A and B are shown apart, each in its own frame.
Chain A
Amino acid sequence: MAERVGFFTDTSICIGCKACEVACKEWNQIPEDGFQFLGRSYDNTGQLGASTWRHVAFVEQPTGGGEQRWLMSSDVCKHCTSAACLNVCPTGALFRTEFGAVVVQQDICNGCGYCIPACPFGVIDQRKEDGRAWKCTLCYDRLRAGQAPACAQACPTQSIQFGPLDELRARAAARVDEVPGARLYGADPADGVQGMGAFFLLLDDPEVYGLPPDPVDATQHLRSMWAAAAGAATTMALAVAAAFLRRRR
């Protein structure tokens, strides 16, 4: 297995140019998903989805005295260490690549849709006209050819940094001390998804950017869920046994 690689997205230097969105669409030949005016600052993309694998969020925040600040952040699949989509996929279509990324094998996916409500970030979705689930592949084809993913390659400010995850985490730990009000999101291997392969430096709470504050891969609690189900299954069987046994009295 190759070294685990990923993204460190430093939102403090994102300028909202959307070059990442365009590069991703072009390289991966993703179909267009509608031209809409959303009225959300400069965001007319809306959210990540089956045909949107990079999404730049724009937040305008008044800071008092008629001043305002502008938060911009390029969101992407987190390629979780403990990935709910991958864990619940019943066909094995979702798998982990040699680079540590989580990818859908489109020749296997049967469109069961289980990965969609499983993802705590709302990343993966079904392409309606196609029936299958789609999301960021961390540019699997480019990585195999020794190239950086298209979005990181296109980013003009190095807000999207691509590289070995350990290196990125060390760089992020240094950067977060330099930027006032900054916090890291997804850099902690002890979080609910055991750390994200794509993590972020944010300037406000995650939910302001549309990110869940404490995402959890539900599969980590599967044992308790099966224990409850075993109790319920046993209760059902015992109830039937009791119903028939009383007849013999």
Chain B
Amino acid sequence: MTRSYYGQPVLKAPVWKWCVPAYFFTGGVAAGTTLLATGARLTGDGDLARRCRFAAFGATAVSAALLIEDLGRPARFLNMLRVAKPSSPMSVGSWVLAGFGGATTVAAAGEVVRLPATVMALAQGGAAVLAPVLGAYTAVLLADTAVPAWREAYRELPFVFTGSALASAAGLASLLGAGRPATRRAAAAGAALELVASRAMARRLGALAPQSRLATLATGATAAGAALSALRRTAPAGGALLLVGGVAKRFDVFRAGVASARDPAATIGPQRARVGGGVSPTAGGMGRQE
């Protein structure tokens, strides 16, 4: 039994709009397609490399637009690069996205016009190094808050996000007609990582993140998408399902966090259990009982 102040939430729920979970998806796609482009380039598959690079460029541009749109003062978006602050995952992420975006733009431009080999190597290498960071940091961004369903998930959440990023990127490659045995293997690996990590996260969170229809959709679409991705003929349909699963997963994680922030028991319960006690001589008063 949790006591609270008239059942009112202790925390303020995040004011982030749909743009933020949408960015988690597009940022993940940008990260995944960049790694696929790198693998394709290194194994001499120029066609796959080019298509993945263009996809990464598009996803990065959409990501930046979504993040700016979500700001309370969009005109001040450049203030994100006013300081470099290791204690703020959003500051770290802003610099990673800025560096990644620059490298991806140059690398994509190099697929259209001839650029010096050194410039291309730097851009491709830089994007490849920053891509996994871009795919994973958003989990730290959510975990580094007071929101119970995000904070308690800090161990599994990065794996959910990078697995989903890889599955979505490989799914997009198939959908764009650039499916290869390698992208199908990447789809399977990403989907497996996402499903296993999601299961572990759900077990840890328990009642903090109850099963939702969105979660069922994410699991179903990802599992079915991975299965269909195994065969060449069904891989494009599988790719579409993986993208649906990836979007659903991000919105489900976001939704669960907002719901836990709005629930006073989710905040007070675990904290009360940590410090013990909590029985008042006047329990039963109008400080409402939950």
Contact status B3-A207, CB under 8 Å: yes
Q: State the CA gap A114–B16 with chains docked (Å).
A: 9
Q: State the CA gap A57–B72 with chains docked (Å).
A: 30
Contact status A221-B272, CB under 8 Å: no
Task: Output the nearest chain B residue to A49 by Cβ-Cβ distance.
Answer: B12
Task: Output the nearest chain B residue to A89 by Cβ-Cβ distance.
Answer: B88
Flag A41-84 by CB within 8 Å of B: 1 or 0 each: 10000110100000001011111100011010000000000001
Q: Which residues of A contact B11 (CB under 8 A)?
A: 117, 119-122
Q: Which residues of B contact A239 (CB under 8 A)?
A: 166, 186, 189-190, 193
Task: Output the nearest chain A residue to B278 by Cβ-Cβ distance.
Answer: A205
Q: State the CA gap A60–B31 with chains docked (Å).
A: 55
Contact status A88-B268, CB under 8 Å: no
Distance in angstroms from B129 CB to nearest chain A CB is 9
Task: Output the nearest chain B residue to A212 by Cβ-Cβ distance.
Answer: B10
Contact status B82-A224, CB under 8 Å: no
Q: How large is the interface on B (under 10, 10 to 19, 20 to 34, 35 or more residues)?
A: 35 or more
Task: Output the nearest chain A residue to B83 by Cβ-Cβ distance.
Answer: A92
Which of chain B's residues 1-49 have a Cβ closer than 8 Å to chain A?
2-6, 8-16, 31-32, 35-36, 38-40, 42-43
Contact status A61-B137, CB under 8 Å: no
Q: Does B234 contact A (CB under 8 A)?
A: no
Q: Which residues of A contact B135 (CB under 8 A)?
A: 232-233, 236
Distance in angstroms from B74 CB to nearest chain A CB is 8
Contact status A214-B271, CB under 8 Å: yes
Flag A207-235 by CB within 8 Å of B: 1 or 0 each: 11111111110110110111011111111
Q: Which residues of B contact A213 (CB under 8 A)?
A: 268, 271-272, 274-275, 278
Q: Which residues of A contact B190 (CB under 8 A)?
A: 236, 239
Ordered by A's residue number, 27 sampled pairs between the chains whose C-beta atoms are within 8 Å are A57-B5, A61-B285, A90-B83, A90-B90, A90-B91, A91-B79, A114-B145, A118-B144, A119-B11, A121-B11, A123-B12, A131-B73, A205-B272, A207-B4, A207-B264, A207-B268, A207-B272, A211-B10, A225-B139, A228-B159, A229-B139, A235-B162, A236-B163, A236-B190, A240-B35, A240-B166, A240-B186
4 further A-B contacts with Cβ under 8 Å, apart from A108-B76, A114-B88, A240-B35, are A119-B146, A211-B10, A235-B193, A247-B43
